[in-house]
Homo-oligomer: A and B are copies of this chain.
Amino acid sequence: MQKQDRRTFITTAVVLGTAAAASAMTTMEPKNKKQLTHHVFFWLKNPDSKEDLNKLIEGLKTLEKIPSVKKLHIGVPASTEKRDVVDNSYSASELMFFDDVAGQDVYQAHPIHKKFVENCSHLWEKVIVYDTMEV
C-alpha cells in the first residue's frame, strides 16, 4: 500500500466508524431522549361537515412526510366520559413528536407544512397549539 493510499484508507475507516457510531446513536435516541410534543386542536368553521373534516384529515396526513416529524397521530374527540374538565368541542387534532425545538422550527418552515396551511386554513375558525418539552 502506498503512503497516500494508506492515509486515504485510514481516513475512510475513521469516517465510516464515526458514521456507524452516529447511526447507532440515532437508533437509540427515541428511547432515551426527551422529546418535544406539538399538539394542535382544530375547530372547523362547519363542524357538521364530514367533507370538510375529511379534507382537513387528508391535509394533516401529508405532514408525516416532513423529516423532522418523528411520529404523527391524527385524532378526533374520543368517546370518553363527558366531564366538566374535558374539552371535546374541537373537530380534529394533530399530535407530533420532535427531537428538539430546532426540529419543530424546521417543520414550521417546511414547504409541505406551508402547502397544508395554504390548502386547509380556510376550513378552520380556531386553532390552539400546545408545545410541551418532556421533563
Among residues 84 to 135 in chain A, which have CB atoms less than 8 Å away from a CB atom of chain B?
85-88, 90, 92-93, 95, 101, 104-105, 108, 127-135
Tell me, in angstroms, the Cα distance from A72 to B41 when the chains sit together: 20
Out of B57, B105, B133, name the residue touching A76 (CB < 8 Å): B133
Residue in chain B with minimal CB distance to A80: B131
- Check if A78 is an interface residue, CB within 8 A of chain B: yes
- Check if A27 is an interface residue, CB within 8 A of chain B: no
A interface vs B, CB < 8 Å?
35-39, 41, 57, 73-81, 83, 85-88, 90, 92-93, 95, 101, 104-105, 108, 127-135
Check if B129 sits within 8 Å of A73, measured CB to CB.
no
Check if A57 sits within 8 Å of B130, measured CB to CB.
no
- Return chain B residues, CB-CB under 8 Å to A131: 77-78, 80, 86, 88
